[in-house]
A and B are shown apart, each in its own frame.
Chain A
Amino acid sequence: MGGAEGGSADRRSGGLVHRSADPANRRTAEPALRVVGTAQRKVDAVAKVTGQTLFADDLFLPRMLYGKLLRSTQPHARILCIDTSKAAALEGVKAIVTGQDLPIPFGILPVSQDEHALCPERVRYIGDPVAAVAAVSEETATQAVELIEVEYEPLTSITSVQQAVATPEPRIHDYGPHGNLHKLINLEFGDVERALAESDYVREDLLFYEGSTHLPMEQHAAVADWSADGKLTLWSATQTPHYVHRALTKVLELPASRIRVIACPNGGGFGGKSDVFNHEIAVAKLAMETGRPVKITLTRDEVFYCHRGRHPTLMWVRTGVTKDGAIKGMHFRSLLDGGGYGSYGVASAYYTGALQTVTYNVERYKFQGARVFTNKAPCGPKRGHGTPQPRYALEIHLDKIAEDLGKDPAELRLKHLVSPDSITANYLRVGSVGLETCIRKVTEGAGWKEKYGKLPYGRGVGLACSSYISGAGLPIYWNAMPQSGVQLKLDRGGGVTVFCGSTEIGQGSDSILAYIVSEVLGVGVEDVHVVTGDTHLTPVDLGSYSSRVTLMTGNAALQAAERAREILARNVAAKLEVPMARLAFADGRVFDTEGPHNGMSFAAAVQLSEAAEGTVGTVGSYTPPDSPGRYRGAGVGPSPAYSYTAAIAEVAVDAASGIVVVPKIWIAHDVGQCINPVAVMGQVEGSVYMGLGEALMEEMAYRPNRNVIQKMPSMLEYKSPTTLEMCDVVTYLIEDPDPNGPFGAKEVGQGPLLPVAPAIANAVYDAVGVRIDEVPITPEKVLKALKKKEKGEEPRYGPHSFPEIPWPEPIRVPPPWEGGDGRAVPAGGAAGGEGGAETGHPAISPAPTAPSVPSPSSPERQH
Chain B
Amino acid sequence: MASRRRKPAGKAQISLVVNGEPTEVAFSPHKTLLEVLREDLGLTGTKHGCELGECGTCTVLLDGQPVLSCLALALACDGKRVETVEGMARGAVLHPLQETFADLGAAQCGYCTPGFLLVAKALLEENPSPTRDQIKQALAGNLCRCTGYLKIYEAVELAAARMQGEEAEAKEETLYGRR
Knowing A49-B113, A715-B55, say if A55 contacts B47 (CB, 8 Å).
yes
Knowing A5-B169, A42-B105, A265-B110, say if A58 contacts B44 (CB, 8 Å).
yes
Residues in A with CB closer than 8 Å to B151 are 678, 681-682, 685
**Can you report 16 A-B residue pairs in the complex whose CB atoms are below 8 A from each other?**
A17-B176, A49-B107, A50-B45, A85-B1, A140-B6, A143-B6, A217-B143, A219-B48, A267-B109, A300-B49, A678-B175, A680-B177, A686-B148, A692-B148, A715-B49, A726-B150
Cβ of A54 to closest chain B Cβ, rounded Å = 7
For the complex with contacts A688-B148, A726-B150, 17 further pairs of A-B residues with Cβ separation under 8 Å are: A11-B103, A16-B170, A19-B175, A41-B103, A85-B1, A216-B145, A217-B112, A267-B110, A269-B109, A506-B146, A678-B103, A681-B174, A686-B108, A690-B148, A715-B143, A726-B148, A733-B177
Residues in B with CB closer than 8 Å to A11 are 103
Cβ of B54 to closest chain A Cβ, rounded Å = 4
Which A residues, 246 to 302, have Cβ-Cβ distances below 8 Å to chain B?
A: 265-270, 299-300
Knowing A49-B94, A50-B98, say if A685 contacts B150 (CB, 8 Å).
yes
Q: Mark A524-556, 1 if CB is under 8 A from B, else 0.
A: 000000000000000000000000000000000
Pair B175/A677 contact, Cβ less than 8 Å? yes
CB of A60 within 8 A of chain B? yes
Cα-based distance from A50 to B143 in the complex (angstroms): 19
Q: Which of A86-94, A97-105, A403-411, A801-809 is found at the contact surface with chain B?
A: A86-94
Q: Mark A662-704, 1 if CB is under 8 A from B, else 0.
A: 0000000000001001111110111111101000000000000
**Nearest A residue (CB) for B155:** A49
Which A residues, 563 to 586, have Cβ-Cβ distances below 8 Å to chain B?
A: none
Q: Which of A107-115, A198-206, A313-321, A716-724 is found at the contact surface with chain B?
A: A716-724
CB of B39 within 8 A of chain A? yes
Which B residues, 118 to 153, have Cβ-Cβ distances below 8 Å to chain A?
A: 135-137, 139-151, 153
Residues in A with CB closer than 8 Å to B48 are 57, 219
Residues in B with CB closer than 8 Å to A89 are 1-4
Q: Quick one: which of A8, A686, A716 has the most chain B CB within 10 A?
A: A686
Pair A506/B109 contact, Cβ less than 8 Å? yes
Q: Mark B91-117, 1 if CB is under 8 A from A, else 0.
A: 000100111011111011111111001
9 closest Cβ pairs, A-B complex: A51-B45, A506-B109, A267-B111, A48-B110, A689-B148, A51-B85, A39-B175, A45-B102, A715-B54
Cβ of B102 to closest chain A Cβ, rounded Å = 4
**Nearest A residue (CB) for B35:** A138
Which A residues, 26 to 78, have Cβ-Cβ distances below 8 Å to chain B?
A: 39, 41-42, 44-55, 57-58, 60
Pair A17/B175 contact, Cβ less than 8 Å? yes
Cα-based distance from A502 to B20 in the complex (angstroms): 39
Residues in B with CB closer than 8 Å to A720 are 143, 145
CB of A4 within 8 A of chain B? yes
Q: Mark B163-179, 1 if CB is under 8 A from A, else 0.
A: 00001011010111111
Residues in B with CB closer than 8 Å to A450 are none
Cβ of A676 to closest chain B Cβ, rounded Å = 8
Cβ of B52 to closest chain A Cβ, rounded Å = 7
Cα-based distance from A692 to B150 in the complex (angstroms): 14
Q: Quick one: which of B102, B145, B149 has the most chain A CB within 10 A?
A: B145
Pair B178/A732 contact, Cβ less than 8 Å? yes
Residues in B with CB closer than 8 Å to A729 are 148, 150
Pair A681/B136 contact, Cβ less than 8 Å? no
Residues in B with CB closer than 8 Å to A46 are 94, 98, 102
Which residues in A have some Cβ–Cβ distance to B below 8 Å? 4-6, 8, 11, 16-17, 19, 22, 25, 39, 41-42, 44-55, 57-58, 60, 85-86, 89-92, 139-140, 143, 147, 214-219, 265-270, 299-300, 441, 445, 505-508, 674, 677-682, 684-690, 692, 714-716, 720, 722-724, 726, 728-734
Cβ of B116 to closest chain A Cβ, rounded Å = 10
**Nearest B residue (CB) for A49:** B98
Cβ of B163 to closest chain A Cβ, rounded Å = 15
From B86, B105, B143, A682 is in contact (CB under 8 Å) with B105
Residues in B with CB closer than 8 Å to A728 are 150
Knowing A147-B4, A219-B49, A729-B148, say if A677 contacts B44 (CB, 8 Å).
no
Pair A686/B147 contact, Cβ less than 8 Å? yes
Pair B109/A268 contact, Cβ less than 8 Å? yes
Cα-based distance from A60 to B150 in the complex (angstroms): 34
Residues in B with CB closer than 8 Å to A57 are 44, 48
Residues in A with CB closer than 8 Å to B5 are 91
Cα-based distance from A731 to B4 in the complex (angstroms): 60
Pair B111/A731 contact, Cβ less than 8 Å? no
Pair B117/A49 contact, Cβ less than 8 Å? yes
From B4, B51, B146, A90 is in contact (CB under 8 Å) with B4
Cβ of A545 to closest chain B Cβ, rounded Å = 15
Interface size on B, residues (CB 8 A): 72
CB of B32 within 8 A of chain A? no
Knowing A50-B85, A217-B145, A723-B140, say if A300 contacts B109 (CB, 8 Å).
no
Cα-based distance from A726 to B88 in the complex (angstroms): 28
Interface of B is mostly: loop
Pair A270/B145 contact, Cβ less than 8 Å? yes
Q: Mark B40-72, 1 if CB is under 8 A from A, else 0.
A: 001111111111101101000000000000000
Cα-based distance from A137 to B58 in the complex (angstroms): 21
Residues in B with CB closer than 8 Å to A507 are 108
Cβ of A237 to closest chain B Cβ, rounded Å = 10
Cα-based distance from A682 to B114 in the complex (angstroms): 18
**Nearest B residue (CB) for A299:** B51
Cα-based distance from A106 to B169 in the complex (angstroms): 52
Knowing A16-B175, A51-B44, say if A91 contacts B6 (CB, 8 Å).
yes
From A16, A45, A268, B145 is in contact (CB under 8 Å) with A268
Pair A724/B86 contact, Cβ less than 8 Å? no
**Nearest A residue (CB) for B104:** A678
Cα-based distance from A415 to B131 in the complex (angstroms): 43
Pair B178/A217 contact, Cβ less than 8 Å? no
Cα-based distance from A266 to B111 in the complex (angstroms): 8
Residues in A with CB closer than 8 Å to B147 are 682, 685-686, 689
Cα-based distance from A623 to B87 in the complex (angstroms): 45
Pair A17/B108 contact, Cβ less than 8 Å? no
Cα-based distance from A41 to B155 in the complex (angstroms): 13
Residues in B with CB closer than 8 Å to A268 are 108-109, 111, 145-146
Residues in A with CB closer than 8 Å to B170 are 16-17, 39
Residues in B with CB closer than 8 Å to A22 are 179
CB of B76 within 8 A of chain A? no
From A90, A680, A716, B52 is in contact (CB under 8 Å) with A716
Pair B98/A92 contact, Cβ less than 8 Å? no
**Nearest A residue (CB) for B30:** A139
Pair B39/A44 contact, Cβ less than 8 Å? no
Pair B3/A49 contact, Cβ less than 8 Å? no
CB of B89 within 8 A of chain A? yes
**Nearest A residue (CB) for B4:** A90
Cα-based distance from A92 to B102 in the complex (angstroms): 43
Pair A17/B169 contact, Cβ less than 8 Å? yes
Q: Quick one: which of B4, B136, B151, B176 has the most chain A CB within 10 A?
A: B176
**Nearest B residue (CB) for A47:** B110
Cβ of A270 to closest chain B Cβ, rounded Å = 7
Which B residues, 1 to 33, have Cβ-Cβ distances below 8 Å to chain A?
A: 1-6
Cβ of A653 to closest chain B Cβ, rounded Å = 22
Residues in B with CB closer than 8 Å to A51 are 43-46, 84-86, 114
Pair B45/A678 contact, Cβ less than 8 Å? no
Residues in A with CB closer than 8 Å to B140 are 722-724
Pair A50/B86 contact, Cβ less than 8 Å? yes
Cα-based distance from A22 to B178 in the complex (angstroms): 12
Pair B104/A48 contact, Cβ less than 8 Å? no
Residues in A with CB closer than 8 Å to B57 are 217
Pair B148/A445 contact, Cβ less than 8 Å? no
**Nearest A residue (CB) for B169:** A4
